[in-house]
Amino acid sequence: MKIAGAIALVQLILYLLLCVNFRACAQANIPVTLISDFLIASMNFFVIRKIATSPDSKLLWVAYTLGSVAGSAVGIRFSQWVLGA
Q: For 35-55, what is each residue's pLDDT tens digit?
A: 999 999 988 888 888 777 888
Neighbours of 35 (CB within 10 A): 15
Q: Considering its fold, how many domains does the chain have in total?
A: 1
User: Out of 48-57, 66-75, 76-85, which region has the weakest mean confidence (pLDDT)?
Assistant: 48-57
Give the confidence band of 80 by pLDDT, cuts at 50, 70, 90.
confident
Nearest CA to 1 out of 60, 43, 50 is that of 60
Predicted model pTM: 0.73
**6, burial (CB in 10 Å: exposed 0-12, middle 13-18, buried 19+):** middle
Q: Which residues constitute the domain of residue 11?
A: 2-83
Ramachandran class of 28: left when φ > 0, alpha when ψ lies in -120 to 50, beta otherwise: left
